[in-house]
C-alpha cells in the first residue's frame, strides 16, 4: 500500500527552532520511504526559506489566519484523491485534525513535543487528542506526561526522538574554534537556545547567579549565551546586577552553519532546563564532542541516556557539577570519554539512520491496518 500523508504543522521548511527542525527531519524521512506516495505539508506559519523541499513532498504556503488555514486544510481533505493519514504536528491543532479525519476517514497521527502536552488541556482538546490512532512523543518524559491526562492505550504512544544533523561532528582543534569566537584561553560554558520570556525554564538565570560560586574555584571562566529573543534584556540586566559583565557574553543568533564551531568552542554545554521536551541542542553538543550538563526534571534524560552520555543535575547541585566536569571534562557516566566516543554514542542512538528506521516503523502502523487500531499483530 502507498500512503498519502496530510501534515498539519506549525512550520517545517522555513521555520526556526527545534520543532521545525523535527518536522523537517520527519518529513524528509517519510519522503525516503517507499511506502509513502506523497506528503502534503500545510504549515501554519513559515518564513520564506531557501531550504529545498524533498522529493514527494509538497509544502503549501502558510495561511493568513487560523480560519483560512482550517478551510484550506478541509479543502485538501475532501478532494477526490484522499489522504491515508492525517499527521497533526501540534496538540492544539487536533480539533482541526479530528474534523479532517471525520470528513476523509483518514486516521490521525499526533505528534507531541514538550510542555504543550505536559499538563491537561481543555476537555475539548483532550477529547480530540484521544481520537489519535497513533501518538508519537519526542521523549519518554513527554510520553509519560501525555499519558497522565490522555486516556489512550499506552501501547499506541511511541517515542520518536530528535535526531542530529551530519554537520555536527567533533574537531580535534578546539583551540581554533575558541579563537574564532575570541575565547582563546578561556574555560567556556555555553548555552544555545531561544531567549524567550515564555521559555524561562531554560535556566540561563540560574547559571548566571551561580557563576560567582563557580569562579571561586575555576579561573578564566566565561559564560557564552547564544540565541536571541525578548528575554535577552532581562538577562543582560541580571548580568549587570551581578556585576558579571566581563564574564558573560551574549552572542545573539548564531547561523546554523556556524553552530558546530560554537559547540566546539565550549568546554561544557550547559542548559539546566526544566521544560525540555527533549532538547535537540544536547544532541548537537554531544555530537560535537562537547560534554553536557542538563536538568534532571524534564525530557533531557533521553538525549543524555539517563546520565550515561552527560550529567543530569538538579538546581542545587548545578555549581558542583559544573566545577566537577570542568575539572575532569572527559569523565562522563563513570568512565572517560573522548570527543569521538561521545559523537559515536550519540549517533548510534540518535543518528539519522536510527530516526529513519523509527519513522518507518511508526508509518508501518498505517500501512498494515489503517483503522482504529493500526498496530499489526505480527
Partner 1 sequence: MCGVAAIFAFHFSAPPVDRNELIRIRDAMTVRGPDAKGEWYSEDGRLAIGHRRLSIIDLSDQAAQPMVSSDRNVVLSFNGEIYNHAALRKSLEENGQEFRSRSDTEVILHLYELKGEAMLDDLRGMFALVLWDKKRRSMLLARDPYGIKPLYYANDGWSVRVGSQVKALLAGGRVSRQTDPAGRAGFFLFGSVPEPYTSFQEIRSVPAGSFIRIDERGPSAPVVWKCVSRIYADAEVENAPADASEVKEAVRTALLDSVKHHLVSDVPVGAFLSSGIDSSAVVGLTRDAGEYPIETMTLAFPEFVDHMHDESRIAGQTARTYGTRHTTHRVSEADFHNQLPNILEAMDQPSIDGINTWMVSKAASDSGLKVCLSGLGGDELFGGYPSFRDIPKWVRGMRIPSHVPLLGTACRFGFDLLGLESFGVSPKAAGFVTYAGTYSGAYLLRRGLFMPWELPGILGEDATREGLRRLQLLEHIGESLRPDPGTAFARVACMESSIYLRNQLLRDADWAGMAHSLEIRVPLVDTTLLGNIAPIANSGRLGISKRVLVSAPTTPFGDDVATRRKTGFTVPIEAWMSSSRNILDAWRRVPSLTRSGCHWARRLAYAVHFQSVA
- Residues in the site for partner 1, rule: CB under 8 A? 137, 139-140, 143-144, 147-148, 151, 153-155, 157-159, 161, 302, 305-306, 308, 349-350, 354, 357-358, 361-362, 364-365, 373, 375-378
C-alpha cell at 69: 488555514
Lookup result for grid cell 505528534 = 111
Which CB sits closer to partner 1, 209 or 352? 352
| Closest to 141 (Cα-Cα) out of 300, 333, 307 | 300
Please tell me whether residue 294 adopts helix, strand or coil conformation. Answer: strand
Least distance between partner 1 and beta carbon 17 (Å): 21
Least distance between partner 1 and beta carbon 6 (Å): 23
Which CB sits closer to partner 1, 171 or 373? 373
- The gap from C-alpha 114 to its chain's centroid, in whole angstroms, comes to 9
Least distance between partner 1 and beta carbon 264 (Å): 24
| Length of the chain measured in residues | 378
Least distance between partner 1 and beta carbon 85 (Å): 16
Which CB sits closer to partner 1, 6 or 134? 134
**How crowded is residue 253: how many other Cβ atoms within 10 Å of its Cβ?**
13
CB 282 within 8 A of CB 310: yes
Which CB sits closer to partner 1, 196 or 354? 354
Name 331's bridge partners: 336
Least distance between partner 1 and beta carbon 5 (Å): 18
CA distances from 186 to 31, 60, 244, 326, 338 (A): 44, 47, 15, 12, 20
Which CB sits closer to partner 1, 108 or 183? 108
CB 271 within 8 A of CB 296: no
Which CB sits closer to partner 1, 41 or 283? 283
Distance CA 86, CA 98 (A): 9
Amino acid at each position: 500500500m502507498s500512503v498519502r500523508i496530510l501534515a498539519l504543522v506549525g512550520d517545517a521548511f522555513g521555520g526556526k527552532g527545534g520543532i521545525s527542525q523535527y518536522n523537517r527531519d520527519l518529513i524528509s524521512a517519510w519522503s525516503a520511504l517507499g511506502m509513502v506516495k506523497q506528503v502534503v505539508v500545510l504549515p501554519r506559519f513559515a518564513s520564506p526559506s531557501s531550504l529545498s523541499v524533498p522529493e514527494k513532498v509538497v509544502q503549501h504556503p502558510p495561511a493568513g489566519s487560523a480560519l483560512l488555514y482550517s478551510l484550506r486544510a478541509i479543502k485538501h481533505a475532501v478532494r477526490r484523491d484522499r489522504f491515508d493519514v492525517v499527521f497533526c504536528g501540534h496538540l492544539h491543532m487536533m480539533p482541526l485534525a479530528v474534523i479532517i479525519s471525520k470528513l476523509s476517514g483518514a486516521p490521525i497521527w499526533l505528534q507531541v513535543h514538550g510542555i504543550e502536552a505536559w499538563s491537561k488541556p481543555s476537555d475539548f482538546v483532550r477529547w480530540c487528542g484521544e481520537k489519535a490512532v497513533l501518538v508519537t512523543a519526542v521523549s519518554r518524559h513527554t510520553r509519560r506526561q501525555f499519558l497522565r491526562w490522555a486516556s489512550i492505550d499506552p501501547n499506541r504512544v511511541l517515542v520518536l526522538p530528535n535526531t542530529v544533523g551530519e554537520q555536527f561532528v567533533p574537531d580535534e582543534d578546539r583551540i581554533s574554534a575558541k579563537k574564532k569566537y575570541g575565547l582563546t584561553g578561556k574555560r567556556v560554558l555555553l548555552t544555545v537556545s531561544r531567549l524567550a520570556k515564555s521559555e524561562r525554564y531554560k535556566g540561563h538565570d540560574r547559571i548566571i547567579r551561580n557563576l560567582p560560586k563557580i569562579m571561586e574555584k575555576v579561573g578564566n571562566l566565561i559564560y557564552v549565551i547564544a540565541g536571541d529573543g525578548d528575554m535577552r534584556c532581562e538577562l543582560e540586566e541580571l548580568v549587570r546586577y551581578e556585576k558579571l559583565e566581563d564574564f558573560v557574553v551574549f552572542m545573539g543568533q548564531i547561523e546554523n552553519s556556524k553552530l558546530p564551531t560554537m559547540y566546539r568552542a565550549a568546554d561544557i554545554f550547559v542548559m539546566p532546563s526544566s521544560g525540555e521536551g527533549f532538547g535537540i541542542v544536547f544532541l548537537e553538543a554531544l555530537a560535537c564532542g562537547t560534554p553536557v550538563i542538563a536538568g534532571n526534571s524534564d525530557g533531557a534524560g533521553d538525549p543524555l541516556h539517563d546520565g550515561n552520555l552527560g550529567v543530569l543535575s538538579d538546581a542545587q547541585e548545578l555549581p558542583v557539577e559544573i566545577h566537577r566536569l570542568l575539572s575532569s571534562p572527559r569523565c562522563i557516566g563513570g568512565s572517560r570519554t573522548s570527543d569521538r566516543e561521545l559523537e559515536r554514542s550519540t549517533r548510534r542512538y540518535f543518528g539519522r539512520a536510527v530516526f529513519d528506521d523509527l519513522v518507518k516503523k511508526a508509518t508501518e502502523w498505517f500501512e498494515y491496518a489503517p483503522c482504529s487500531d493500526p498496530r499489526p499483530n505480527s
